[in-house]
Amino acid sequence: MPREYKSQPPTAFQRRPHLTKDDQWIRSFLREAKIGRIATSSDGQPFINTTTFWLDEENHQIVFHSNVAGRIRSNIEANPKVSLEASELGKFLPSNVALEFSLQFRSVVVFGGARLITDQVEARRLLYGLIGKYFPEMTAGKEYREITDKELRATSIYAIKIESWSGKENWAERADQSDEWTPLDEKWFLE
């Protein structure tokens, strides 16, 4: 019988609580994660878009950018509740029990409200933060032209105010095996 989730926060009921990670781990993971997936919805239809992002730790928010017009903007204007998922996958883990097949993974899910940044000073600061995550050795005005007003008008910059988040990690070397069945041949564990 399924659990009742309606009156619960989105991070309630971790199925495998021993895999749950703390806030420090989540921050560290988000600093290093290369891409995320933004989930928005419109008229009950969910949408997922892959994006680069930056954790603005000082303001406890996730920053990303998108087209000036498009599905993300339309969806956020209609419903600012969003989530962001970022993950890293390792190897697949075989087992001699069907329900124990697994994979190595690390993941974070962030829940919050997204807002379009309309102030040009804030938008410029956030866009530089996003660029700095991926190109930390490059300097605006030196290696690349500083952001122009025209460029700011050509993109939509968003900040997701983090309301809650959860992190999980399963990086076991092997999936659980059963003594009630023939052990797997070692060939299944070779990389």
- Per-residue confidence (pLDDT) for residue 16, from 0 to 100: 63
pLDDT of 12 above 60: no
Give pLDDT, residue 20: 81
Q: Residue 84's closest CA among 58, 52, 56?
A: 52
Please state, rounded to an integer, the average pLDDT across all residues of the chain.
92
Report pLDDT digits (tens) over 35-76: 999 999 999 999 999 999 999 999 999 999 999 989 999 999
**pLDDT tops 60 at residue 13:** no
Q: What is the pTM of this model?
A: 0.87
State the pLDDT at residue 102. 92
Closest to 189 (Cα-Cα) out of 94, 99, 89, 104: 94
Instruction: Please list the residues that pair with 158 across neighbouring strands.
Output: 64, 116
Q: What tokens were used for 179?
A: 């003594």
Q: Supply the CATH classification number for the domain 18-172.
A: 2.30.110.10
Q: Where are the domains of the chain?
A: 18-172
Share of the chain above pLDDT 90, in %: 84
**What is the identity of the amino acid at 148?**
T
5 vs 158, residue with greater confidence:
158
Q: How confident is the model at residue 189 (pLDDT cuts 50, 70, 90)?
A: confident
Res 127 pLDDT > 70: yes
